[in-house]
């Protein structure tokens, strides 16, 4: 499937949840599967299902009478084409790789902009469309001490 172009979908100011950039095994995840979910409004949810065939799911409402929230699981795969993972702080930007992207699991996020592709899959007679992260830009919330000491050089930078 080399050279095939899949639809690119952009979501700005995204709210992400269920972050597992590390790929740890848990009740809902196989060991090594890196992913996160993005909350969707009703228009986005409908478009992703109707136009791209993606499997949008819904969180159960916390309070009776509240609407269920739509979300989409997005894979973070380094197998074919690694995604661009970038963290923005007051110091600038830092690119992350497969070796260190687990930091995205625990940082406090202010804002996320992302692009993902909708890619078809087929395994064991089953098939569907899966979302794969292509570019994820995360602006983090920095605490007062991060900001206060932002200009202090690291020891290895030397004098």
53-77 tens-digit pLDDT: 899 999 987 777 778 899 999 999 9
What is the percentage of the chain residues whose pLDDT exceeds 70? Answer: 95
Query: Can you give the pLDDT at residue 156?
Result: 74
Tokens of 117: 């592709």
CATH assignment of 8-150, given 3.40.30, 3.20.20, 1.10.3470, 2.40.50? 2.40.50
Helices (H) and strands (E) in the chain, counts: 2, 9
Strands (E), the chain: 8-14, 16-20, 35-40, 57-59, 69-75, 84-89, 92-96, 109-123, 126-140
Q: Which residues contact 118 (CB under 8 A, 6 or more apart)?
A: 6, 7, 9, 48, 52, 53, 54, 129, 130, 131
Q: What's the length of the chain?
A: 159
Domain coordinates of the chain in residue numbers?
A: 8-150
85-107 tens-digit pLDDT: 999 998 889 999 999 999 999 99
């Amino acid at each position: 499937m080399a050279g095939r172009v899949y639809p690119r979908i952009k979501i700005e100011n995204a709210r992400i949840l269920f972050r597992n950039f590390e790929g740890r095994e848990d009740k809902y995840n196989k060991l090594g599967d890196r992913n996160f979910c993005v909350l969707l409004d009703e228009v986005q949810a409908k478009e992703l299902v109707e136009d791209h065939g993606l499997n949008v799911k819904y969180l159960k409402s916390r309070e009776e009478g509240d609407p269920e929230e739509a979300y989409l699981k997005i894979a973070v795969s380094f197998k074919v084409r690694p995604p661009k993972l970038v963290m923005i702080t007051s110091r600038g930007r830092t690119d992350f790789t497969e070796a260190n992207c687990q930091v995205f699991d625990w940082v406090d996020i202010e804002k996320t902009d992302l692009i993902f592709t909708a890619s078809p899959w087929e395994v064991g007679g089953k098939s569907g469309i899966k979302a794969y992260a292509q570019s994820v830009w995360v602006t983090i919330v920095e605490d007062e001490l991060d900001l206060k000491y932002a200009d202090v050089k690291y020891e290895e930078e030397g004098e």
